[in-house]
Amino acid sequence: MDNFWLTLADWQLVDRLLAGGRALFLICLGLLLGKLASKGVKHLLARQLSQHHLILLRRIAFYLILGMFCVSALRELGFKLSVLLGAAGVLTVAVGFASQTSASNIISGLFLLGERPFSVGDVIRVGSTTGEVLSIDLLSAKLRTFENLFVRIPNETLIKSEVTNLTRFPIRRLDLKIGIAYKEDIEKVTKVLKAVADANPLSLEEPEPIIIFTGFGSSSIDLQFSVWAVKEKFMDLRNSIQTEIKIAFDAEGIEIPFPHLTIYTGSATEPFPIQMVGGNKEQATPDNHKS
């Protein structure tokens, strides 16, 4: 009788080992098929979808197939699907109450995927953060700044904040604020600026550069000089054209003034005494100096 029970226990152990082996095989098969499905989605839909939609579909295909095989593996181990679904439902409700922020980010992520204000590879500005979009996930978007820093921005923040896409359109306009002295000829300055734009190969001829008179400043006549460039060469144009403007102004004798301060105390006030500092120090008297 003891041998019978021992033999039965051995068979049960063998059956459990076989079930565990089948479960492990199913999980490995799910991983393999999930990766194949992810690659298949990439090859089939790479031209039809944007990169961040493609990444999302690849992840959905991978985890969906893997999840199906994991459920089959659990059934092989003796777990009942109805019990698992019931436990999953209770767990989902508990997690939902405990993670309302995550749920808000997921919903915001779905809005971002539908609205598509930016894509992977675009350069965006959110508040004081500017960087290239590395990925757009259900909970957050990942950016790499120009300082090579990794920044994670929750999707809820992206929905609520003003987001500027710097590379959405193929060309960008560079606006330069320029001040010239009041004695300068504005028409001459305009010709010099247009000549600088024409000589710069990064400045586009269409749309053509524009010069806008913005007002009389406290120390200068203020102008706005606007030129266009393709988005890939925007920073190169910004660096080169300002140097070229300074060189052209120096060659033409055009003054770029700095702020000046004039002190006026009124006709009834005594003049300020002035001391000249140089080879000989002389104390000036109020009688021979004007204010």
Per-residue pLDDT at 264: 64
What radius of gyration, in Å, describes the C-alpha atoms of the chain? 36
Alpha-carbon gap, residue 2 to 83, rounded angstroms: 36
| Inter-residue contact 151 to 145 (CB < 8 Å) | yes
CATH class of 115-165: mainly beta
Q: What are phi and psi of 65, to 5 degrees?
A: -65, -45
Alpha-carbon gap, residue 36 to 129, rounded angstroms: 37
Per-residue pLDDT at 52: 63
Could you check whether 115-165 and 173-291 share the same CATH topology?
no
User: Is cis: bond before 207, omega within 30 of 0?
Assistant: yes
Per-residue pLDDT at 55: 73
pLDDT by 10s per residue, the chain, length 291: 545 444 655 556 666 777 777 778 888 888 888 888 888 877 777 776 666 667 777 777 888 888 888 878 777 777 666 655 665 665 565 555 556 677 777 788 778 877 888 888 899 999 999 999 998 887 889 999 999 999 999 998 999 899 999 999 999 999 999 999 999 999 999 999 999 999 999 999 999 999 999 999 888 999 999 999 999 999 999 999 999 999 999 999 999 988 766 666 666 566 666 677 765 544 444 444 444
Alpha-carbon gap, residue 225 to 191, rounded angstroms: 12
> What architecture does CATH give domain 173-291?
2-Layer Sandwich (3.30)
8-state DSSP, 209:
P
Domains of the chain, residue spans: 18-98, 115-165, 173-291
Per-residue pLDDT at 48: 66
| Inter-residue contact 291 to 265 (CB < 8 Å) | yes
Per-residue pLDDT at 284: 46
Per-residue pLDDT at 67: 81
For residue 67 the two structure tokens come to 């999840």
Amino acid in the structure at residue 30 = G
Give me the CATH code for the 18-98 domain, please.
Answer: 1.10.287
